[in-house]
Structure 1
Amino acid sequence: MTTPPEKLPTLSGSVPPVREWARTFAIGLCMGSADAVPGVSGGTIALIAGIYGRLIAMINALTPDRIITFLRSLTPLDGGFDFRGALYVFDEIDGWFGLALVAGVGTAVVLVTRAVHVLNESYPTLLFGFFFGLIAASAVVLLRELTVGSAFQAVAGVVGFAIAFLLSGPVAFLESGGLAVIFVAGAVAVSAMILPGISGSLLLVILGQYTFMSDTLSRFIDGLIAAVSGGSTATLVDDAVLVVTFIAGGLVGLFTVSRVVRRSLDRNRRATMTFLVALVVGALRAPIQEVGSEVGFSPDVVVAFAGAALVGAVFLLILDWYAVDLDLDSV
């Protein structure tokens, strides 16, 4: 960590202008909305918005040493509180940028998961048909940029497809849930959020936790509102445990799994991307499995599912056409 300069920053000199905050918050809203929907990647939105490099730099700057120094500066240890020293570390990790971005992402996730919760209860066929279209179109976009040039790369693709396809079906230990599954799901989903083309929510769908966590978060928000307004809070504690476990897993994933993926990309970029893209293709089983288990397929259901899938596919292809040409070699 860099040695603090003799002249430490002040709060007024550290806080960015309101316009910059608003722009970062808006980008966070777009990233959160994208990552809350399977098939669309928040990392791609960051790439489009021109903040991807800054986002990766911020994550890499969050080292254990800096975190410990920051926390110690805000406690009466080592000679008392050192607010300006803490502010210096906060500036080193681009904390104001991260704070505004996380606020935007969090707000979007809450809003989108609320919509998913309502749609899953009323229109599951249309919801998962739309997701199928998003995932299918995302797979097409990614496969278009992928070339397989070695046997190892081909094996990585087969393994990725097999893992996603098998986990997208009925899996006993995933269906049983439990805090361990929720923790791992959070770690995997959040680590994927920073990869262009790979959706964190898609991995939740593969793990069978997407609708469960959407419903849980919606109930948790309802419970918080009820606690303030004097309503029923019967499930608040149980839901809070699940949400906190997921967030804790996400934080661990951000500092562990995401860095493992980054090192894998650095060592063998093409094989790693082939594995990740194959996950997307294998995940196409998940929406079909959800509709089959919840509703069952009849001619009317098939038509509705296919129509919603077409809408989802067209939406993502239009986004890809007007947004950015994704170059997997730049990830």
Structure 2
Amino acid sequence: MEWRNIYRGFLMGISDLIPGVSGGTIAFLLGIYDRLLTSINGVFSKQWRKHIGFLLPLAIGMGTTIVLFSRVIKFLLANYFAPTQYFFIGLIIGVLPFMAKQAKIKTTFKVWHYLVLLIVGVLLAMTAFIKPSESTIITTLSPTTILILFLSGWAASTAMLLPGISGSFVLLLLGMYSTAIAAISDFNIPIIIVIGLGVMLGFVISSKIIQFLLKQHATLTYSIIIGLIIGSVFVIYPGIPESGTPFVMSAVSLIMGLLVSNLFSPHEADSQPK
């Protein structure tokens, strides 16, 4: 068991609670994105024990964080919205140099790759202007709500694996974010199980697709991923805070995010599958 993955899962879990912040971005930041995809795909292979040893501590860290910190994140977003968002902006910006190195931008990117990057970034940034309306919180199950929750979990898990797209934001767009947070906060086990099953199936299928694209069309895929990461900055940008304490807190949070990103960013060799 790779027990150090618990703290990695902790960081990914926190990010997945924030609409607009992607757990996939944090996985890139920690240098485990390739291994994450490989391990998810390898769960049903002959080496499943090795992959479970990587994924289980990660899942424990994520699950524990989501359960324990859902209310904390809710409090921070309600009372310290701008500083919280600026911290994650710092994390996202901080991962870009590592991503550029991984993609070998200087040697592999052509003009059309930059164009794809720009288009993807702009399209994602435009979602910041979408004001989703939350539907009624689902607390009981019926055939219809089971299907809705399952598919919502599937869509959210795909977003979690894609750097730059937040699973929480997808749930927000689908009107299921309040339902998911309420289920976690209130320990509504049936709701959690249905969403969780959708998330698990989504992880398995989406990871195979993403890994295939990274192997067969690496440069194009990296241009899309970097575009998503840049676009996500605009999605969570809270605006310029008021002068005084809010401005200072936001500036400090941004710097802390950059420092944390720099601290956890791995060497290129560390990010390769083992």
**TM-score in terms of structure 1 length:** 0.60
User: Given residue 157 of structure 1, which amino acid in structure 2 is its aligned partner?
Assistant: L
The corresponding residue for 2:140 is: none
Supply the RMSD in Å over aligned alpha carbons: 3.7
Cα offset, 1:176, TM superposition: 4.3
With over 3 angstroms needed to count, the CA separation of the structure-2 counterparts of 1:264 and 1:117, relative to structure 1, is: same
In the other structure, the counterpart of 1:149 is: 109
Answer with 1 or 2: which has the greater Rg.
1
> Alpha-carbon deviation of 1:187?
2.6
Counterpart among 122, 132, 135 of residue 89 in structure 2: 132
Paired with 1:144 and 1:105, the residues of 2 have a C-alpha distance of 27
Q: In the alignment, is residue 36 of structure 1 matched against residue 21 of structure 2? A: no
Residues of 1 paired with 2:69 and 2:223: CA distance? 29
Is the 1:35–1:42 Cα contact (8 Å) retained in structure 2?
no
Give me the whole-angstrom Cα distance separating, in 2, the residues matched to 1:285 and 1:166.
8
Alpha-carbon distance, 1:316 to partner: 1.1
Preserved contact between residue 191 and residue 253 of structure 1 (Cα < 8 Å) = no
Equivalent position of 2:76 in the other structure: 119
Match of 2:232 among 262, 283, 306: 283
Give the 3-state SS of the residue equivalent to 2:109 in structure 1. Answer: coil
Conservation of the 8 A alpha-carbon contact between 1:130 and 1:305: yes
Alpha carbons of 1:153 and 1:107: their partners in 2 closer, same or farther (altered >3 Å)? same
Question: 1:260: Cα distance to partner?
Answer: 1.2
Does the 8 Å contact 2:159/2:170 carry over to 1? no
* 1:280 aligned partner, one-letter code: I
In the alignment, which residue of structure 1 is the partner of 2:203?
254
Match for residue 152 of structure 2? 182
Contact 1:35 1:41 in 2 (8 A): no
* CA distance 1:214–1:310, shift in 2 (3 Å): farther
Cα gap change, 1:222 to 1:162, in 2 (>3 Å): closer
Cα distance between partner residues in 2 of 1:129 and 1:101: 25
C-alpha distance after superposition, 1:195-227 (max 9, x if no partner): xxx36xx523654749x9886555434423xxx
**Residue in structure 2 matched with residue 164 of structure 1 by the alignment:** 124
Give the drift of 1:165.
0.8
1:1-331 aligned within 5 A: 20=1, 24-37=2-15, 38=21, 41-42=26-27, 44-45=29-30, 47=32, 53=35, 56-63=37-44, 93-94=48-49, 97=53, 98-146=55-103, 147=105, 149-167=109-127, 169-172=128-131, 174-176=132-134, 179=148, 182-183=152-153, 185-192=155-162, 198=163, 203-204=166-167, 207=170, 209=172, 219-224=182-187, 236=188, 241=191, 243-288=192-237, 291-292=238-239, 297-300=241-244, 301-320=246-265, 324-326=266-268, 330=272
Q: 1:80 aligns to what?
A: none
The answer (yes or no) to whether the contact 1:153–1:271 under 8 Å persists in 2 is: yes
- Percent identical across equivalent pairs? 14
What SS does the corresponding residue of 2:267 show, helix, strand or coil?
Answer: coil
The 3 A distance-change label for structure 1 pair 188 and 316 is same
* 2: CA distance, partners of 1:222 / 1:205: 15
In structure 1, C-alpha distance between the alignment counterparts of 2:98 and 2:169, rounded to whole Å = 19
Task: Give me the whole-angstrom Cα distance separating, in 2, the residues matched to 1:32 and 1:213.
Answer: 23
Is the CA contact 2:31–2:271 (under 8 Å) kept in the aligned structure 1? no
Paired amino acid for 2:48: I
Structure 1: gaps spanning 5 or more residues: 1-19, 67-90, 193-197, 225-235
Letter in 2 for 1:120: L
Deviates more, 1:137-146 or 1:276-285: 137-146
Cα distance between partner residues in 2 of 1:282 and 1:208? 18
Structure 2 alignment gaps of length 5 or more:
16-20, 137-147
Provide, for residues 76-111 of structure 1, a one-character-per-residue CA deviation record: whole Å limited to 9, x for no partner: xxxxxxxxxxxxxxx752275244543333223323
